[in-house]
Structure 1
């Protein structure tokens, strides 16, 4: 899925630039929707969906994960990694805890998808 940023957001997002959506996150209780994307610093961050308009809504290559609190629609390779995660909370906790192997795999997956979608991204960095 490709989205276009509607306004500059701090130094993280640029108005008019296209971004690859890595994950769509929905909170079931609050019905909030957010997108995870690689920002201008290369950080894999979550932003309110209202900062974007959808340019390409095709979700080929995405998978869905649902629990009582939220729904995640993420790149299918990331969901596969999520299932194999060493952390019970999933890949993003592995990522935030700086698990080197997880970080490398996540970055490879994102760079490959961005290339396939002809989207330029800043080299992802670990937090």
Structure 2
């Protein structure tokens, strides 16, 4: 189920939207999300970023992952649309990236003809995130 990170294009959850629930019908986009959710390290990162935005170093420490692995997983999750990368502003002028989970729930469905679909519930954003 894995693909090289460079072959993954960003998943956009904008195909059908209603009440913060988005249906992803494209087989390619469904596969990107499933690949990310199939990975135990990615699931640990999603858990770690559920409450607070974390830098790559903080994710690496929290999830006990090598930094190089952390960056690969963060890219996979961001490309799959499950994490958002933001800029953390520092008073020293050295800004860094931080990552926060963007989804609350993912529901996989299998249609009568064998087609897979995903319903993704987006997290409510605070005014500071907009």
TM-score range, shorter chain: under 0.3
TM-score computed with the length of structure 2 as normaliser: 0.27
TM-score computed with the length of structure 1 as normaliser: 0.27
Higher relative CO (Cα under 8 Å, sequence separation at least 6) belongs to 2
Structure with higher helix content: 2
Structure with higher strand content: 1
